Amino acid sequence: MAGAAMGDDGENPVNINITPLVDIIFCLCVFFMVSFKFKQLEGKFDSWLPKGKGSVGSVQIEGILDEVRVAMYWDEVNQRTIRQLGTRRIQSDEELAELIREGHDAWVKMNKPDTPVTIDAEARVPWNDVIAVMNLCKKNRIDKIEFALGAPPPTGQ
Binding-site member from 11, 20, 48, 64 for another protein (CB under 8 A):
48
Window 103 to 122, contacts with another protein (CB under 8 A): 121-122
Q: Is 97 exposed, middle or buried (0-12, 13-18, 19+ CB in 10 A)?
A: middle
CB 116 within 8 A of CB 144: yes
User: Using CB under 8 A, which of 45, 94, 106, 155 touches another protein?
Assistant: 45
Can residue 6 be called a binding residue for another protein (CB under 8 A)? Answer: yes
Q: Does 146 bind another protein (CB under 8 A)?
A: no
Binding mask 54-73 for another protein (x = CB under 8 A): xx-x--------------x-
Q: What is the DSSP letter of 10?
A: T
C-alpha separations of 73 from 13, 28, 43, 82 in Å: 81, 51, 26, 5
Rounded CA Rg of the chain: 30
Q: Does 16 bind another protein (CB under 8 A)?
A: no
| Span from 61-69, 83-91, 92-100, 128-136 in contact with another protein (CB under 8 A) | 128-136
Phi, psi (5° rounding) for residue 70? -105, 115
Q: What angle do CA 15, 19, 20 make, to 5 degrees?
A: 115
- Min dist CB 110 to another protein, Å, is 26
CA gap 147, 13 in Å, rounded: 78
Pick from 13, 14, 20, 36 the residue near another protein by CB under 8 A. 36
Residues of this chain that bind another protein (CB under 8 A): 1, 4-6, 8, 18, 21-22, 25-26, 28-29, 32-33, 35-36, 39-55, 57, 72, 74, 76, 79, 121-132, 134-135, 138-139, 147, 149
